Amino acid sequence: MARKEDISSSVIKRLPRYYRFIGELINQGKTRISSADLAAQMSLTASQIRQDLNCFGGFGQPGCGYSLPELHSEIGHILGLDCHRKAILIGAGNLGRAIAIHMKFENFGMELRGIFDADENKTGLTVAGMRILPMTDIEDFICRERPEAAILCIPKESAAECADMLVGCGIKAFWNFSHYDLAAKHKDIVVENVHLGDSLMLLSYGLTNSENDF
């Protein structure tokens, strides 16, 4: 098993994809698979899969392949999906509401405990079964509930001050939709930046270059 600090980010970024594909195979009633068959499903090589999983202990048996339920559980544990860490959401606009309503946080190791917005007109409205709370309540809420993660669905110009306050209150991780570079100032936090526009531009690039091939 590799040391945590020696595992490349590219391997870690493939883990959610392994987890998702293996879950789909289990839902199809399959219980065991070889690295070659899993590679064919995921458009990878069997060697790549074995190398990736060996970083965390391997899990397979020579000649027998992988037990899908066991592998799914182990990868979920590596990803921390069995931790159920508390999270809060900042910004109850269209994006924030969509995330609160449609994300099954409990499937991803998180539990959404509070939704906050600076707009007084939104205070008291209900989203995903929770009342939207004013930002003035957030420090007391964090002190009481001890969430570890925050989801930022706020404009970039508001993110710096908000992040400073949240980090000062003990928030350790951010799912960041704000386009503000939190890690540049706060070195010790965990940040997963989401840039929907970047993803759409890559789609545009792929389409443009596909067209140029004809």
pLDDT of residue 122: 96
pLDDT band at 11 (very low <50, low <70, confident <90, very high): very high
Domain chopping of the chain, boundaries: 4-78, 85-198
Task: Give the whole-angstrom CA distance, residue 91 versus residue 122.
Answer: 10
pTM across the whole model? 0.89
pLDDT at 6: 77
Structure tokens at 140: 């007391």
Query: 119-154: per-residue pLDDT in tens?
Result: 999 999 999 999 999 999 999 999 999 999 999 999
Instruction: Look at residue 193 in the predicted model and tell me its pLDDT.
Output: 95
pLDDT band at 65 (very low <50, low <70, confident <90, very high): confident
CATH class held by domain 85-198? alpha beta
Q: How confident is the model at residue 5 (pLDDT cuts 50, 70, 90)?
A: low
pLDDT above 80 (res 51): yes
The rounded distance, in Å, linking the Cα atoms of 173 and 151 is 9
CATH number for region 4-78: 1.10.10.10
Query: Which residues are CB-neighbours of 72 under 8 A, at least 6 positions away?
Result: 19, 22, 23, 26
The helix (H) or strand (E) run that includes residue 94 is: helix 94-102
